[in-house]
Structure 1
Amino acid sequence: MFPARLNRILPWIFLATGILALIQLVSMLGKFAAKSGLAAWFLHHRLEIAAGLGVAAAMAWLVVGLGALRRRNRLPKFLSERRWLMDILDRLTNRAELERRLAENSEPIFVDADALAATLKANVVGQDKTCVDVAAQIRRRLALKQRGKPVGVFLFAGPPGVGKTWLGKVLADALGRKLLHFDMTQFSAGGFGATSLFGAAKGYVGSQEYGKLTAALRDTPDAVVLLDEIEKAHSDVHKNFLTAWNDGFITEKSDGKQISTTRAIFILTTNAAIDELSDLSRQYAEDPDELRRAAVGALRGAGFAPEVLNRIDRIFVFDPLAGLDIARVAALEIERMISSYGLTVAEGGIDPEVLFDLMGRQQKIGLQASSRDLTRAIEESIADSLIAAREKGAKAVSLVKGPDGVRAEIAAAPGPAKLKAQEG
């Protein structure tokens, strides 16, 4: 309360200080004139000189005060309507925003699409076509000199566990950009979800701090923003994203500042309409425009708002994992799990029967199957055996399928030369 009152009387304090300074100046000039022989002239015209200096000082303080009021949008209406008082940009648009956009005018960035696609494919199993397409889109959009919108707003759609979230993370790493990862299931409540991401208006709890998203974009405007399971977020949260995707800024509620989104890449993921999207992906595999049209219809039927879909630049439909791709994902998950127990996998140390069984379990679940299901199945199969091997001092293990299930057998750890070759 006190700071607000102080702000209101501060201009008057400045004005009083200016008047006192003016009186001091007049006194000093009088002394100077007396010593220089101009005393008679100065004394004769002292009232005119004092009046002139007073008017000049008052006009200067008036201009400064009106400028401060105008910047705070507290200028009286009878003055704000005077066209001669305001710059044409202040009168007809948001000049501050225009100046900010001009300062942030994006320079083109040239990316090797082939190299980027190769990096993505090397890390994401079973989605080669999508990786190539994503790399091409990124290259085209980063090469634009001027953008009034984000670099891209991409929707990754498809069954759970096929690499949607993982591709977003790999893309951020490949581009050298910070990843801002939000699980949108945590923002399913309207009021709380919106304020948590975009800040709270003045007078409400939390208005002293920026929202999680606005603060992050303020500090790292060129981030990759990964919004997992976007369909789970409340409709109020979706509405707040509309200006971010369409107009190139997002508003922080606590102070009304506009945070630029023109340098960010937004990745949205969804598990909605997976059966229909899988059929459409096969049907329109060679016609991306028709696939987008059909996918928009499917997602709209699954509850996506039209205004959200209209702001998405590209929809990528991920293929379900099948055949050897399931085995590849399973092998990587096994290697990761064994590593988490402080062990390594011997070369060729995974029995093909182990992977074959996991593939069968995954295929029985169908399109709803995910890498999480694989992880759970692997953990159930080998965790106890890995712990036993670790307790025996093992450094490396091989997985063998036996009549009683999968067991981890102690194997010779690879030598230094082989380790160096594997790292290379």
Structure 2
Amino acid sequence: MGRLLSVINRYLPLLFLMVLVLAIAKAFHLYWPFIQSRLVAFVAHLNLLVRYGVWVVVLLLFIGLGVLAVLSLMSHAGRLPQSISRRRWIMDILDRLTNRVALEERLSTNADATFIDADALSHALKSKVIGQDAICDDLAAQIRRRLALQQRGKPVGIFLFAGNPGTGKTYMGKRLATELGRKLLHIDMTQFSRGMAGTALFGSPRGYVGSDNYGKLTSGLRDSPDAVVLLDEIEKADPEIHKKFLTAWNDGFITEASDGKQISTTRAIFVLTTNAAIDVLEDIRQQYSQAPDEMRRASTNTLKESGFAPEVLSRIDRIFVFSRLTGLDVARVTALEIERMIEGYGLQVADQGIDPEILYRLMERQEKLADTASSRDLMRAIEESIADSLIAAKQQGARCVALIEGQGVVFARPVACPE
């Protein structure tokens, strides 16, 4: 009996299914004429709808697309009514939560990873910037690491060059731009000792004089976003101008005042130079030459005491303290400056074509100036010593010269150029 009940329970669902199918078939058979007449009427109505309603459908479709386009434009302009903007299904989530267009523009300015040879860059800098070999090595390594980043929300680097005048701070910034193949934006910050002078850098607001032109910095980065921005003697600028750079260094953009446009700084390299607290920084450099973290801490505290705002110093990636030039390093710098001046007159200097006595006298002059000496003083001394003789040699048709000193007078002797 139990076995029979088990078999019935197993096949009972199948039995019910068969009864249901038979019932549906019987009902379909009985009501087929009625179903057939309804199908014929439905097909007739469908044919009329297709024939006369297709253009109405197309018109409604175009109206709907037009409404969506208008809503999209209003959304991008930020003019969408709140009652509509709250409906999450009508717009991109980025349109609802942020300025998607601005975000897309920022992403489009992100640079791809760039790989450079740090050793080659360091060697090139050492060949031109005398007496700062450790800084050349460290600077090249820092730039290599930062350029290798694919996504950057900040500039490639913000570097502060501190130390005595005449040690090569400004020249290092110029050579860095040359060796990297980037445009140099050289800004003398002594011209911006008053806060209002910042309009020359960042533009003038609408309605003010000059508002039809971009500022020097904003226009330079707009045209050359990967430039090396050299802010020379940054400590002499007004502190309010210092703070205007905070968004450039922290958020990756600066704002042009004339039209409110944001100019990306994520591909730029900022180099700041300062002559502040040179004696204390020189002592710090000697004391912590093998401890870069301690050097940064001590240098930061010293510069803070010299008037730098803490928020400005916190944005600086690396502080490099340049060492004083002594001995033959002064002679090397002097020889390079003489070579550049000779080339500036369209001439070449012969091999071993600079009399050692000339270099010795110029070095003596620099040493007498002591801590007040600068590269500008050296350039003036060189120009006063050799410019007239170079002009005379050029007028004689010379192409190569050798500098000779006789009885306290320097003259340029034409010589044959090496083949």
Match in the other structure for 2:128: 123
Match in the other structure for 1:407: 410
How far residue 322 of structure 1 moved from its aligned partner, in angstroms, is: 1.3
SS, match of residue 378 in structure 1? helix
How far residue 408 of structure 1 moved from its aligned partner, in angstroms, is: 0.9
User: Any gaps of 5 or more consecutive residues in structure 2?
Assistant: 1-44
- CA spacing shift, 1:82–1:275, aligned 2, 3 Å: same
Q: Deviations over 1:271-294 (max 9, x none)?
A: 222121111111111111111111
Of the structure 1 ranges 112-121 and 346-355, higher mean CA displacement relative to structure 2 is found in 346-355
Q: Is the 8 A contact 2:163 2:321 kept in 1?
A: yes
Q: Deviations over 1:237-262 (max 9, x none)?
A: 32221111111222223333322222
Task: State the TM-score, normalized to the length of structure 2.
Answer: 0.80
1:103 and 1:340 map into 2 onto residues whose CA distance is 41
2:331 is the counterpart of 1:327: yes
- CA spacing shift, 1:373–1:192, aligned 2, 3 Å: closer
Alignment of 1:1-400 (within 5 A): 59-193=64-198, 195-391=199-395, 394-400=398-404
2:218 and 2:298 map into 1 onto residues whose CA distance is 33
- CA spacing shift, 1:104–1:346, aligned 2, 3 Å: closer
1:155 and 1:245 map into 2 onto residues whose CA distance is 13
User: Any gaps of 5 or more consecutive residues in structure 1?
Assistant: 1-37
Task: State the TM-score, normalized to the length of structure 1.
Answer: 0.79
Identical-residue share of aligned pairs (%): 63
How far residue 71 of structure 1 moved from its aligned partner, in angstroms, is: 1.7
How far residue 409 of structure 1 moved from its aligned partner, in angstroms, is: 5.1
Q: Is the 8 A contact 1:156 1:315 kept in 2?
A: yes
How far residue 53 of structure 1 moved from its aligned partner, in angstroms, is: 7.1
- CA spacing shift, 1:243–1:285, aligned 2, 3 Å: same
Amino acid at match of 2:134: K
Which structure would you say has the larger Rg?
A: 2
Amino acid at match of 1:406: V
RMSD over aligned Cα, in angstroms? Answer: 2.9
Q: How many residues align?
A: 373
Q: Is the 8 A contact 1:274 1:367 kept in 2?
A: no
SS, match of residue 210 in structure 2? coil
1:281 and 1:201 map into 2 onto residues whose CA distance is 43
Match in the other structure for 2:38: none
Q: Is the 8 A contact 2:225 2:267 kept in 1?
A: yes
SS, match of residue 201 in structure 1? coil
Q: Deviations over 1:300-342 (max 9, x none)?
A: 1111111111000001111122111111111122223333344
